[in-house]
Amino acid sequence: MVMLLLCTVNGRETKRAVHLAREKVAKAINCKAKEIYFTSCGSESDNLAIKGICYKNREKKNHIITTKIEHPAVLHTCKSLERQGVEVTYLNVDKKGQISLYELENAIKENTILISIMTANNEIGTIQPIKEIGKIAKAHNVLFHTDSVQAIGNLKINVEEMNIDLLSMSAHKFYGPKGVGALYVREGIEFEKLQDGGHQERDKRAGTENVAGIVGLGEAIEISYKNYEEYNEKLKNLRDYYIEQVEKRIPNVSLNGDRINRLPGNANISFEGVISEELLYKLDEKGICASGGSACSTGNPHPSHVLMAIGTNSKMAKGALRVTFGMENTKEDVDYLVENLSQIVSELRR
């Protein structure tokens, strides 16, 4: 009897905690709580969004539009769908990593069901014209999904204003716990679930919820947007100071991506005549943690698909270094980084 009572209380508390987290996510992107589905990560959210829409509609429409610079969670999902008979258009991007709205509109066909374009790129930080893309999608009656995994916490997203129908996010990209993500799907849009089982997440994602993770995600998203202006300003200043110092002190470097329209904490610079793995190794010895072409392709000998798409030659692509600034970094950290970089780069070039 006592046990039973305890269980009921815990169950109710758990339900309430999950509901509260859902409300926090909804508030952050301006949607309704019931439009949020919790998942295990950003990759799962991307899979559920894209496959979910395609499977639901494949009898009627089977063409999707995406870009060449998406995260593998989107690109490989699209490849998988191609093997299942779905037609996919991969849009080009310009030197800065921007899509062309004209090309996007031209790519829409009678059988286009979905446009999936990332809000901001994880390697070069380029931010896409999301509001304009949303407008085009709406005008043509095509659904619009955006992978906002890099954007949530760093940029203000309003799904109503931006006409976003589906949006993916992942907690560990905004200081939340690993192993939990969320997908927003506008009310009324039907999609196929990918995992069968119980009735969790309004019957769209079977399996017992990761309650601790979900609560952490809710807290993290709330905190991110509470200090948004201050945090954003700080990261932008660090980023611009770093880029300026590198360009001033190290010859033969080139900034990858868009100088202005980029994530506040992202700086991706190529150092000619240097291999980024060697650079990373030397930086690590100095206690500096950065990434090469792509964090997700460690050990991958091929140059980054993103750098290839923006037309970086393979020599420069091999020497790309991505630095991501965070909440705890200071101007002194940047000075320390640039000092070491300039020494290491000239050493490696010798």
Ligand X SMILES: *Cc1c(COP(=O)(O)O)cnc(C)c1O
Q: In angstroms, give the least distance from the CB of 300 to ligand X.
A: 15
List the interface residues with ligand X, window 216-235 (CB under 6 A): none
Amino acid identity of residue 121, one-letter, is N
Is there a contact between 64 and 113 (Cβ–Cβ < 8 Å)?
Answer: yes
- Smallest separation (angstroms) from ligand X to the CB of 77: 10
Q: Kindly report the backbone phi and psi dihedral angles of residue 167, in degrees, each rounded to the nearest multiple of 5, phi listed first.
A: -145, 135
- Of the residues 7, 41, 54, 296, only one is catalytic, namely 296
Does 43 contact ligand X by CB under 6 A? yes
Query: Considering the rule CB under 6 A, would residue 210 count as an interface residue with ligand X?
Result: no
With CB under 6 A, what is the number of residues at the site for ligand X?
14
The whole-angstrom separation of Cα 234 and Cα 108 is 40
CB of 217 to ligand X, least distance (A): 11
CA angle 159, 46, 85 (to 5 degrees): 120
Q: What is the DSSP string of 172-230?
A: GGGT--SS-EEEEE-TT-----SS-SS-HHHHTS-S---HHHHHHHHHHHHHHHHTHHH
305 binds ligand X (CB under 6 A): no
Is 118 one of the binding residues for ligand X (CB under 6 A)? yes
How far apart CA 301 and CA 345 sit, in angstroms, is: 21
Does position 47 interact with ligand X (CB under 6 A)? The reply is no
Which span sits near ligand X by CB under 6 A: 38-46, 85-93, 217-225, 232-240? 38-46
Residue 60 token pair: 């009627």
Question: Does the annotation count 296 as an active-site position?
Answer: yes
Give the end-to-end CA distance of the chain in Å, rounded to a whole number: 77
Q: Which is nearer to ligand X, 145 or 282 (CB)?
A: 145
What is the contact mask toward ligand X in residues 172 to 191, using x (rule: CB under 6 A)?
A: -x-------x----------
Binding site residues, ligand X, CB under 6 A? 41-43, 46, 71, 73, 118, 122, 147, 149-150, 170, 173, 181
Residues with catalytic roles:
296
